[in-house]
Structure 1
Amino acid sequence: MVLGAAALMTVATVAGCAGSTSASSSDLQFVTDKSWDFEKFSAVSKDDIDVSLDPAYYADQNAFQAFIKQSFRSNKAPGLFTWHTGSSLEDLVSEGLVAETTDIWEKAVADGNISESVKDLYTIDGKQYCTPISVDDWVMYYDKRTFSELGLEVPTTWDEMTAVADTLVDAGIAPFWNSGGNPWAFVWFQILTAGTDVELYNDLMSGDAKFTDPEVVEVMNVWLDMKEKGYFSDPGSKTPGETQIKDQEVAMIPFGTWYASTLDTVGLESGTDWGVFPIPNVNPDQEVTPVAIETAPACVPEKSAQRELGLEYSEWWMGTEAQTAWSEQQGNLPFNPNATAATEEFQKIGEEYTDPKYTFYLRYYEAAPAPILTSSLDEFTGFMTNPGDPMPYLEGIQKVADEYWSEH
């Protein structure tokens, strides 16, 4: 089931049953904001460790976060839930709301099941919290059918990509998907800023640069120019990006490797219907090509009645068998190097990303402190729906950033 704000009480009732006598002791209550098929994956864990997931899905991000925080206050938290790294996780840790997973991480790293660099994303004050479901690099998905029909080549530079976009506009196809609101309004700001100057991007995330700086204004003007050229889909559309690309209404979608499974849900096949390529630098003089990285944590509430079961499942999910099964189901790259990748497209891109010319940075949604993220999503949505002078929107974000950094 997919749940929105109206279903809040229904989910609260489900999560409130965690550890009750009405549920099997091997049924792990799991609340998620992801649309992935956890019931299917649950069959793998049932066979391997005799634990099944009992998932409740949230489609609305704001309602999901409200429910999770409410469940902590009511001491009726699920045994496992999805969340985000960065400031969102730091906030929960600071309140003692999630279980520590340091022992799990130490064993996983020692066994060669995950890298230290990923561990760093889950480290707060020298300890680890939560564990990854997936670790995904960002790529540009493209519609191979449309590219073939129009005789388009996969671009390797920004100029080549905008030339492709011009051809698509002439053909009546939106070159790029974009969306306003929570959570996706940040996407093109992230791409354009990091692709212009990844250090500028990192400085914005740390408060060492201001959103009103001239370099950031110039990034926004690039975005505005692309908007005025008709490069983007309707940011207010309620039609999912995967449906738009299936119907050949849009040709390219920037996302993490997790999005492969979403394309599968509309019948698009990897290598036949869609492919991927690295997102080129906006600034050709930038010596490295930045690649956004995101990770989907699964967290165990500290006071959950299913705390130990949740930790057991978390440890299993990082293992070779679980990651191989997850990759086979989702079609993405497993973070465990001992696991087997199921998708040839991602095997190729994974090899490409080992080139030292690529550098990796944390996705905006996790990298931006929570108040700044909230303001950004609102202001970027306003910019997309009412494009014009970017400064008022940037001033709105910077006002919140000034308040935040004055206290941190």
Structure 2
Amino acid sequence: MGLSACSSQEKSADGKVTIEFFNQKTEMADTLQRIVDDFEKEHPNIDVKLTTVPSAGIVLKTRILSGDVPDIINIYPQNMDFQEWAKAGYFADMTGKPYLENIKNDYAEKYAINNKIYSVPLTANLYGIYYNKTKFKELGLEEPKTFKEFQEIVKKIKDSGNSPFAVAGNEGWTLNGYHQLSLITLTGSGDAANNYLRFSKPNAISADDAI
């Protein structure tokens, strides 16, 4: 979640401030509205306008490039668009702000850009792998306890003529976790992930390489 450096907030005659919260995840609209309602009860001098629109990514890009930047944005910090916009000064630098101490495990620092923090996490997701116990029993496999055992099991499944993995992909955004987010997690930060890819020789990275 990012804060705009080019605020469009309005102040009314009664001293109330209106800010816009631009939401890119339509499935979260109801939940976010409840959060907004609770926030407004605690801060009666602030009105929050929650904006949820179809094709939010395209709408946001158009608005930012035209200078109509929302005050708060549900953003994807791993995306190159966000990184370029942050470098161009569209988002507020939150580095060193005291409220960052409320965020656990340095999650905000993980997505720092050039060592500056432009976003804070709205949610945290836990990724895992489900396995078919019946199939494991048929193949004589046991649940792996280490990554090495996991790799050995994958090989055994392939050698048996079966596919080790399947990703349903019904919700396309979930694939993001297995590509961009996993690389950021393993390398330590968004900057480190970019450097890992940038300074690797073409075709030098294999799917079997450990990061």
TMscore range, shorter length: 0.5 to 0.7
Confirm or deny that 1:56 pairs with 2:52.
Answer: yes
Partner of 2:153: 160
Q: For residues 77 and 203 of structure 1, what CA distance do their matches in structure 2 show?
A: 26
Confirm or deny that 1:92 pairs with 2:82.
Answer: no
Q: Could you tell me which of 67, 79, 103 is aligned with 2:71?
A: 79
RMSD: 4.6
Go from structure 1 to structure 2 and tell me whether the alpha carbon gap of 1:102 and 1:178 turns closer, same or farther (over 3 Å shift). Answer: same
**Deviation at 1:91?**
0.9
Q: Could you tell me which of 202, 207, 210 is aligned with 1:211?
A: 202
**Deviation at 1:20?**
10
SS of alignment partner, residue 142 of structure 1: coil
Q: For residues 159 and 71 of structure 2, what CA distance do their matches in structure 1 show?
A: 50
Confirm or deny that 1:66 pairs with 2:58.
Answer: yes
1:26-49 C-alpha deviation (Å, 9 max, x unpaired): 6744231x3542312431442244
SS of alignment partner, residue 37 of structure 1: helix
Go from structure 1 to structure 2 and tell me whether the alpha carbon gap of 1:140 and 1:124 turns closer, same or farther (over 3 Å shift). Answer: closer
User: Number of aligned pairs?
Assistant: 180
**Deviation at 1:150?**
3.6
SS of alignment partner, residue 54 of structure 1: strand
Q: For residues 168 and 18 of structure 1, what CA distance do their matches in structure 2 show?
A: 60
Q: For residues 94 and 177 of structure 1, what CA distance do their matches in structure 2 show?
A: 34
SS of alignment partner, residue 121 of structure 2: strand
SS of alignment partner, residue 199 of structure 2: coil
Partner of 1:101: 94
Go from structure 1 to structure 2 and tell me whether the alpha carbon gap of 1:64 and 1:150 turns closer, same or farther (over 3 Å shift). Answer: same
Letter in 1 for 2:165: P
1:318-354 C-alpha deviation (Å, 9 max, x unpaired): xxxxxxxxxxxxxxxxxxxxxxxxxxxxxxxxxxxxx
Go from structure 1 to structure 2 and tell me whether the alpha carbon gap of 1:106 and 1:206 turns closer, same or farther (over 3 Å shift). Answer: farther
Q: Could you tell me which of 46, 66, 79 is aligned with 2:37?
A: 46
**Deviation at 1:133?**
0.9
Go from structure 1 to structure 2 and tell me whether the alpha carbon gap of 1:209 and 1:175 turns closer, same or farther (over 3 Å shift). Answer: closer
Go from structure 1 to structure 2 and tell me whether the alpha carbon gap of 1:140 and 1:70 turns closer, same or farther (over 3 Å shift). Answer: same
After superposition, residues 175-190 of structure 1 pair within 5 angstroms as 175-177=165-167, 184=175, 187=178
Q: For residues 135 and 53 of structure 1, what CA distance do their matches in structure 2 show?
A: 24
Calculate the TM-score normalised by the size of structure 1.
Answer: 0.34
Higher normalized contact order (CA 8 Å, seq sep 6+, divided by chain length)? 1
Is 1:38–1:53's contact at 8 Å kept on the other side of the alignment? Answer: no
Q: Percent identity?
A: 12
Go from structure 1 to structure 2 and tell me whether the alpha carbon gap of 1:151 and 1:122 turns closer, same or farther (over 3 Å shift). Answer: closer
Partner of 1:237: none
Q: For residues 188 and 166 of structure 1, what CA distance do their matches in structure 2 show?
A: 25
Is 2:26–2:53's contact at 8 Å kept on the other side of the alignment? Answer: yes
Calculate the TM-score normalised by the size of structure 2.
Answer: 0.57
Letter in 1 for 2:64: F
Letter in 2 for 1:140: G
SS of alignment partner, residue 99 of structure 2: helix
Letter in 2 for 1:141: I
Letter in 2 for 1:175: F
Letter in 1 for 2:89: G
Letter in 2 for 1:132: P
Q: Could you tell me which of 119, 133, 137 is aligned with 2:122?
A: 133
1:147-191 C-alpha deviation (Å, 9 max, x unpaired): 244455534411213445677948xxx831176xx8648946997
Go from structure 1 to structure 2 and tell me whether the alpha carbon gap of 1:155 and 1:80 turns closer, same or farther (over 3 Å shift). Answer: same
Is 2:26–2:52's contact at 8 Å kept on the other side of the alignment? Answer: no
Go from structure 1 to structure 2 and tell me whether the alpha carbon gap of 1:186 and 1:107 turns closer, same or farther (over 3 Å shift). Answer: closer
Structure number with the higher strand fraction is 1
Q: Could you tell me which of 123, 132, 144 is aligned with 2:112?
A: 123
Structure 1, unaligned stretches of length 5 or more? 1-16, 220-281, 291-408
Structure 2, unaligned stretches of length 5 or more? 1-7, 42-46
**Deviation at 1:52?**
5.4
1:182-211 C-alpha deviation (Å, 9 max, x unpaired): 8648946997x99xx979x95863522123
Q: For residues 66 and 169 of structure 1, what CA distance do their matches in structure 2 show?
A: 40
Is 1:101–1:129's contact at 8 Å kept on the other side of the alignment? Answer: yes
SS of alignment partner, residue 42 of structure 1: helix
